[in-house]
Structure 1
């Protein structure tokens, strides 16, 4: 059935609805762009810090000093290669806070003596 002239004229004269939809799109695209920029800017900084503060122990093990949730941690962890060939930390390992690390360092001399006496 054909539409009445009033209905066609009122639906065609909807200039107010078009800018609203454009505004919604533009707000959304701005938000998406800022989220993408933020995630891109954060990623390289994080990787750079960990690379600078990492020491290889051999056999795919590594010591890393990093910050997590505002706390300084010392990670002693097995590493693995992901599908893209990047070296990633694995599940096997331990994270020590600074107090635990100090106790560990103090015990190293005693542990070293025990190892020498067993050999």
Structure 2
């Protein structure tokens, strides 16, 4: 049975410390583990709280601005981001904002 790898905290380092011999071993990419970033009280200041464990943040990812709506989990009294959530590009965020009045109208029709 093969083990499943979590690649969310890994990146490929293509820098080559060996001589330029062209061998497969010299060209092989190294996988370097990144340390997970812990959430702190300072981090929570940047978050907009929707509920005790759901927050909205604005951040950049690969050079793009994203609106991130995410559920956090408690790890020994420290909140950490979970898998449950969505990151919207600026285009998607603008489109969602355009739907607000229609969503409010539909909510009124249900209640």
TM class by smaller structure = 0.5 to 0.7
**Cα distance change, pair 49–107 in 1 and its aligned pair in 2 (3 A):** farther
TM-score (norm 2): 0.57
Larger radius of gyration: 1
Q: Tell me, which stretches of 5 or more residues in structure 2 are unaligned?
A: 1-36
Match of 1:73 among 59, 62, 66: 66
Count residues with an aligned counterpart. Answer: 75
TM-score (norm 1): 0.54
For residues 78 and 66 of structure 1, the distance between their equivalents in structure 2, rounded to whole angstroms, comes to 16
Give the ranges of 4+ consecutive aligned residues of structure 1 lying more than 2 Å apart after TM superposition: 47-53
Is the helix fraction higher in 1 or 2? 1
1:5 is aligned to none
For residues 52 and 44 of structure 2, the distance between their equivalents in structure 1, rounded to whole angstroms, comes to 18
1:54 Cα deviation after fit: 1.4
Match of 1:57 among 50, 54, 69: 50
**Cα distance change, pair 102–48 in 1 and its aligned pair in 2 (3 A):** farther
- 8 Å CA contact 1:50, 1:64 repeated in 2: no
Pick 1 or 2: higher relative contact order, CA cutoff 8 A, min separation 6. 2
Is the strand fraction higher in 1 or 2? 2
Q: Tell me, which stretches of 5 or more residues in structure 1 are unaligned?
A: 1-43
1:3 is aligned to none
1:109 Cα deviation after fit: 1.2
Deviations 1:62-114 (A, max 9, x none): 1111111211111111111123x221111111000100000001011100110
Cα-Cα RMSD = 2.7
For residues 89 and 78 of structure 1, the distance between their equivalents in structure 2, rounded to whole angstroms, comes to 6
